[in-house]
Amino acid sequence: MGEVEAGFAKLQGEDFEYYMQTYSIVLGRNSKKSAVDVDLASLGGGMNISRHHARIFYDFQRRRFALDVLGKNGCCVEGVLHLPGTAPVKLDSQDLLQIGDKKFYFLLPVRSILRPALPLAHGSYGAPVGQVRKARARLDDSPPGEYDDGGDDGVGMVKKARKGVVPMLPDGGADEGTVYGGKGLVTGQLDKKGEARSRADREADNQQLLQLEEKDVVSSVANVLSDLCGPGEWMPMAKLHSELLDQYSGVWHHSRVRRYLTSDDWPVVEAKGRPWIGLLTLLRKYPEHFVINTRSKGRMTAEFVSLVSLLS
């Protein structure tokens, strides 16, 4: 049995196929000064291929793949020309791309790469493997639709209680003075069982909000790493912490800044000289996205982080 290939996504042309084994790749043409992941010039892309013509990457914040146009001659996605300087173009499975004279399809596995499962092997992508569909008789020349953020649903602001619905206040507390039931307005205090259920609901809401917050922070970290690190490269936690402070300290809610970018909530002994300790603890919870490397020299210990790559 031959070696099985796997990837986060796949590019399929009539005479080539390429498996994305990192979260970001560059397409263009090789030169003496630099090499690209996909050399379209050598694949018959013609004379209009720039050295760095396009980048296909996974947008962690919006949880989707996208194409960033770099070359002056632009790229076509589903028959629509996109030029450099425009916003990254959302990519869906089986989208037809054209760069120069080269046409190929972008294909995604059946399962999401964000699920803690192994990337799918050769044969499991969203189109027949080993062949490319014939060029469409008529390409859709309408612009792409609105972006779908693909985020998780927010926490509902009303929770069911016994014999009615308890309105939830902005701080997560229940308005115990009013219960909206099925047969009109009932006023009074909730009984003990209702209070216990309300507390349980608040705890569940808080836990869900914390999980959503963690996912947002993880997405931000992944974006920083994908922008500043190449495949297999490591970033010191000190540098990652500095970049996040610079980019997000004025954007994140103060609770996020305090929890992940300071050591205020951690024991002094454990956090001494490590303002990123909360961030490090969070990243260790997501081994499907991040690899942590600890290096010691004498009494000095340093942590490094890298995005998960199939090449490693």
Give me the count of residues in the chain. Answer: 312
Within a domain: 79:
yes
Within a domain: 302:
yes
Within a domain: 117:
no
Q: What is the pLDDT along the chain (312 residues), one digit of tens a residue?
A: 344 456 789 999 999 999 998 888 999 999 888 889 999 999 998 888 999 999 999 888 888 999 999 999 999 999 999 999 999 999 999 999 999 999 999 999 865 444 443 344 444 555 433 333 433 333 333 333 332 333 333 222 222 333 333 333 333 333 333 333 333 334 444 456 566 667 777 777 777 777 878 888 888 898 888 888 877 789 999 999 999 999 888 888 778 888 888 888 788 877 788 888 999 999 999 998 899 998 888 777 889 999 987 665
Nearest to 71 by CA among 32, 97, 105: 97
Looking at residue 95, which CATH number applies to its domain? Answer: 2.60.200.20
Within a domain: 135:
no
Within a domain: 138:
no
The structural domain count of the chain equals 2
Within a domain: 266:
yes
Nearest to 66 by CA among 52, 50, 51, 77: 77
Within a domain: 90:
yes
Q: What are phi and psi of 17, to 5 degrees?
A: -145, 145
Q: Identify the domain boundary among 57, 87, 107.
A: 107
Host domain of residue 34: 9-107
Within a domain: 102:
yes
Q: Identify the domain boundary among 107, 128, 157.
A: 107
Q: How far is CA 166 from the centre of its chain?
A: 35
Give start and end residues of each alpha helix (H) in the chain: 192-228, 237-248, 254-261, 268-271, 277-284
Q: Identify the domain boundary among 62, 86, 107.
A: 107
Q: 């989208």: which residue's tokens?
A: 95
- The Cα–Cα gap between 276 and 9 comes to 32
Q: CB count, 10 Å around CB of 21?
A: 18
